[in-house]
């Protein structure tokens, strides 16, 4: 079960690291990795666990010890206001209090978002666009 998650994360991370040697002529790769669009980032990095609909029912969700969060209910669980700052810190790994509660199953995408290009860093743009996309899928 954890092996499936580790394999998926490893494949995604390995693909991101290989991007520095990949040709930009491979359009499917370019679309998946180099995109800064929120929906593209979600499909590439989040949907395996959270599902295309964001409700926590991705193809590897059943393999996880903890069920992935329903990302469409984040605002609902926060008094009707989308918790953008909290979600950003969670995704980027910038919330040290999360580490105090033991290991987390969700990969930290912030460092990966920052390491995609050789000459420019669009990591913060990717992170902001992903957060904006998550805000659009709220119930």
- pLDDT single digits (tens) 77-118: 999 999 999 999 989 888 766 665 556 677 888 788 877 777
In which domain, by residue range, is 74 found?
Answer: 2-136
Q: Would you give the DSSP letter of residue 72?
A: G
Tens digit of each residue's pLDDT (9 = 90 or more) over 64-82 = 998 999 999 999 999 999 9
Angle at 46 between CA 36 and CA 114, to 5 degrees: 40
How many domains does the structure of the chain reveal? 1
The percent of residues in the chain predicted with pLDDT above 70, rounded, is 70
Query: For residue 120, what pLDDT is reported?
Result: 84
Please tell me whether the overall predicted TM-score, pTM, comes out greater than 0.85 for this model. Answer: no
Query: For residue 25, what pLDDT is reported?
Result: 40
Alpha-carbon torsion (40, 42, 45, 51), positive or negative: negative
């Amino acid at each position: 079960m954890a092996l499936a998650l580790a394999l998926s994360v490893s494949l995604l991370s390995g693909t991101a690291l290989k991007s520095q040697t990949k040709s930009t002529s491979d359009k499917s790769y370019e679309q998946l990795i180099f995109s800064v669009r929120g929906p593209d980032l979600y499909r590439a990095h989040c949907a395996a666990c959270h599902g295309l609909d964001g409700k926590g029912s991705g193809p590897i969700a059943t393999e996880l010890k903890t069920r992935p969060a329903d990302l469409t209910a984040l605002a609902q669980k926060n008094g009707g206001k989308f918790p953008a700052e909290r979600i950003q810190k969670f995704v980027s790994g910038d919330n040290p209090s999360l580490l105090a509660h033991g290991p987390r199953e969700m990969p930290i995408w912030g460092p990966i978002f920052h390491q995609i290009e050789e000459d420019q860093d669009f990591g913060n743009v990717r992170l902001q666009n992903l957060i904006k996309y998550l805000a659009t899928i709220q119930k």
